Structure 1
Amino acid sequence: MAEIKYFWEDMAVGEVRDLGSLTPTREEVIAFATQFDPQPFHLDDEAAKASVFGALSASGWHTCAMAMRLMVTNFLQETSSLGSPGIEGLKWLKPVYPNDTLRLQSTVLETKPMSKRPDVGMTRNLWEMFNQHGDKVLHMEGWSMFRRRTPAA
């Protein structure tokens, strides 16, 4: 487990973090879809060609999982993260295809102390994922909970 570098107090409204990138392979797209979203356009080239996507594409849930992986690897593992009570909005804006290079950016939109837990603060964040062409493929807003460095009195 990594050392905690960031607590709730370290999250500033307007702060933007670049959380790295990854490139899903055809095999990874099919493996995820086989297990979690076995729709034909995520599994079969011919079915995908006939779909609105025009080619084999990743599940939107796979796109979310890849964003989560980047968030944990490149930020959350160094924080006092306590999870999330949920998301407010999720949009898959463009298809993700095998070998697209996806980059994640997170922006802090709001911070507030948790009223019933003086040792916890919350942040509302915007996650945006872009492909190698700069097209936004994912837009997600939601809350995160972090332990406070100094609990409220």
Structure 2
Amino acid sequence: MRTVIYAENLRPGTVFELGSAKISKEEILDFGRRFDPLPMHTDEDAAAGSRFGGLIASGFHTAAILQRLVVDAVFAHAAVIAGREISSLRMRAPVRPGDVLHGAMEIVEIRPRDDGTAVVLSRGTLTNGSGTVVLEVRGETLWEHRPAGGSAVGAA
């Protein structure tokens, strides 16, 4: 029987550690070419002459990395229905080839609804190896409440 995290298992202030991901030059170039073809993401020579002084990851690539870490560490074990809103997406510092990004997700607020669901407000962050926050996301997801007789686990 699979144990699932439901909305009522969450508490404001709970922080889920999401693990980490190392960013390669090849990943930056591939994502940039496919989805954000600006020279700072796709051309090493042009990026070297930019204000960043070298190749950097697209902010949307960085956000996708956070999403993957959240899914693997939390959502794959949770009664999440869907994302509802990203209220803030802040790209705070550049992400460079070789960076190891560490993820965290903090539960900010839980708003139960009458239909057996709850809106969960959370804050996700990615921090590089120097301790600099490179990305911060605030948003809402919709979660199920535990059905009668269902098993659950407390938040990490």
TM-score by length of 1: 0.92
Partner SS for 1:128: strand
Aligned length: 148
Question: For 1:43-63, what per-residue CA distance to the aligned partner results, in whole angstroms no more than 9, with x for missing partners?
Answer: 111111121211100000000
Distance 1:109 1:43 in 2: 36
Partner SS for 1:47: helix
Check if 1:142 corresponds to 2:142.
Answer: no
Check if 1:43 corresponds to 2:42.
Answer: yes
State the shift of 1:3 in Å. 3.0
Q: Equivalences for 1:7-46 in 2 at 5 Å?
A: 7-46=6-45
What residue ranges of structure 1 are gaps of 5+ in the alignment? none
Question: For 1:61-100, what per-residue CA distance to the aligned partner results, in whole angstroms no more than 9, with x for missing partners?
Answer: 0000000000001110000111111111110000000110
Distance 1:5 1:56 in 2: 40
Distance 2:68 2:131 in 1: 20
State the shift of 1:7 in Å. 0.6
Partner SS for 1:85: strand
Distance 2:126 2:52 in 1: 18
Q: Equivalences for 1:1-153 in 2 at 5 Å?
A: 3-115=2-114, 118-150=115-147
Letter in 1 for 2:139: G
State the shift of 1:113 in Å. 1.2
Distance 1:56 1:62 in 2: 13
Partner SS for 2:131: coil
